[in-house]
Structure 1
Amino acid sequence: MKLGLIGCGKMGRALLEGALKNGIVKAKDVYVSSRTEETRAALAKELGVNAVASNTDLANKADVVYICTKPNITPIVLIELAESPECLDGTLLISAVAGMALVQIEQALPGSARVVRCMPNTPALIGKGAAAYTTGSNACSADAETTCKLLGSVGSVVEVPESLMDAVTGVSGSGPAYVYTFIEAMADGGVLKGLPRPQALELATQTVLGAASMVAETGLHPAILRDMVTSPGGTTIAAIKALEDNGFRSATIAAVEASTEKSKELGRK
C-alpha cells in the first residue's frame, strides 16, 4: 500500500505513525504534504517519508490518502484535487475533517471519487484511540476493510451510519476532554482531603485507567462492575449518591448532547 497524508497536524501524524509502527505501510511508500514546506520537511526527515509540495502529485502517487486538514482549509484542497481528476483514479480518500459530511466532499470531487469519512480521537497519539467511520456512495467493501486496518492501527474502530457521526463526535471525539476533567476533579477532591497533589493525580489517573480496562476486558456492563464495589451502607454508595445529587450523570449526558449539536452546526456552515 502507498499512503498519502494531506495535513500534518497531530491527528494526521498519529494516524500515519500508527500505520508505520504496525507495518501496514513502509516509510518509503508514504507521501506527506502540508501548507508549509517546513512542516512537511520536518515530518519527512523524522519519519523517513517523502515530502510532496503538490496535493495532486501526492494523490497520483498514493493508493490511499488521508485528508486531515482544518475544515476551513479542506475546500481548497478539494478544489485542487478536483481540478486534476486523473489523480483520483484508483485512489481512496479517507477524510478526518471535523463536521464535513460525505455529500460535501463528494460534490466537490469527480463523480467516481471513493470517499470514507472517519472520526478518530486524540488518544490515537499513543495507540489508544477510538474511531468510527462511514463509507461514501462509491466506496466498496475493500475500502471499508482498508479503513478498518488503518484506523485499527491506532486503537479501536467501529462502522456507523453517517447520521450517527455527530453523535460519535459527542461521545468519543470530545470524550477525552470529559475524562480529563473528571480525573482533575478526582485529584482535587483528594487534595481537599489532604493528599499531596502528585499522589492524588497518580491515584485518580490509574483508577480511571483501571476501571476503563475492566469494562473493556471483562465485557460486563458498567453497572454490574459498579455494583461489585458498592457495599450496602458503605463509602462507595455514599459517593455515588453525592454524584447523583449533584447531577453527574445528567451533566455528562448533556455534554455529549452539546458536542453532538455543535458538530451538526459546524456541518451546516
Structure 2
Amino acid sequence: MGKRPVDQWNDAMKYGAVAAPSVRVRRGATGLMLSRKLTKEGVRILGVPFGQQSQFPKKLWEAGVDLEIRLDPTDMREVTALHEGKIYYLENQRPDLAHHSVRTLMAAIEKMRATKPQDKKFYEFVLAKHADWFDGKIQSGIEAHGLPSTELKEETLEWFENSHCVHLQIEKNPDEMISADMDALLSGEPGRGIYTPKMIEEERLSRVEKDASESMEEAAEACAATAPADDISGPSGAGSDRVAQQSVDTGTNKKSKGKTKASGKTFSGAPKGKGSFK
C-alpha cells in the first residue's frame, strides 16, 4: 500500500483488532531481496538448497533463469521466489537447518570452514549441531544484553557466500550413527571424520577378526605354559631318558627312534635327547 508495515498496521487497527499477517505475507513485504539462478536443484542460499525442479516449468530450469527471492533472515524454513508475476514457495531441503536464522548459520559455516578449511562438504546434522551451539550463545547474549539486531544487507550475504560458500555442499544425513569423535571434528582437531554404513561394517568385521586371532594366540600360549614338564622331551628331558631306557630293554644297540606325545606334538629321533620337534 506504499506505507511502512508499522504505519499500515496502525491504520488498520483504527477499525478494530486485525489478525497478524501470515509468515508468507510478512516475508513478501519485509523479506531480504535476493537474486538467484534456478537450477535442477532449485536455488541455493548459503549452500542450502531450496525448492525442487518439479515446482517450475521445465523451460525455466533448463534455461537457468534468475529468480527474485524473498528471505526472512530469522526463518530459513522457506523462501519466496517470484518470476514473471508468479509466486513460488520453496521449502528448505535440509530440515536440520530450517529452524536456524541466517546469522546463526553464517556463524556456523564460518567457524567450520576456519577449523577445517580443506572440507567442502558437511553433513547437515554436523552443521546443525554446530549452529545449535551458536544458538545457545545468542540466547545467553539476549538474556544479558537484550535482543540482537537481525538487520542484514544483500551485499553482506553476497560477500559471505563468495568468501565461504563457493562449492560448499551440505549433504543429507547418512543412515548411520555418527563417529565417536564428533566433538573433535567440530572443534577442528584431527579425527576420523564421519563414517558411512559400509565403512562402519568393514571396521567392525576387522575388529572381530583381530580379536579372534589374539584369542587363539593367547590360548596357544596358555596351553604350552600349563603342559606337564615330563611330557615335553628335550635334549636332557625325562622323555629322552625314557626312550633310551626302552631301547636298552629291547636289547638293541641300534639308534632307535622313540616317540612320545607332548602337547599334541610328536618327538622323534635318536635316544639321549638328540631328536627334534616335528
TM-score category (smaller protein): under 0.3
More relative contact order in 1 or in 2 (CA 8 Å, sep 6+)?
A: 1
TM-score normalised by L of structure 1: 0.22
Structure ID, larger Rg? 2
TM-score normalised by L of structure 2: 0.21
Compare the two structures and name the one with the higher strand fraction. Answer: 2
Compare the two structures and name the one with the higher helix fraction. Answer: 1
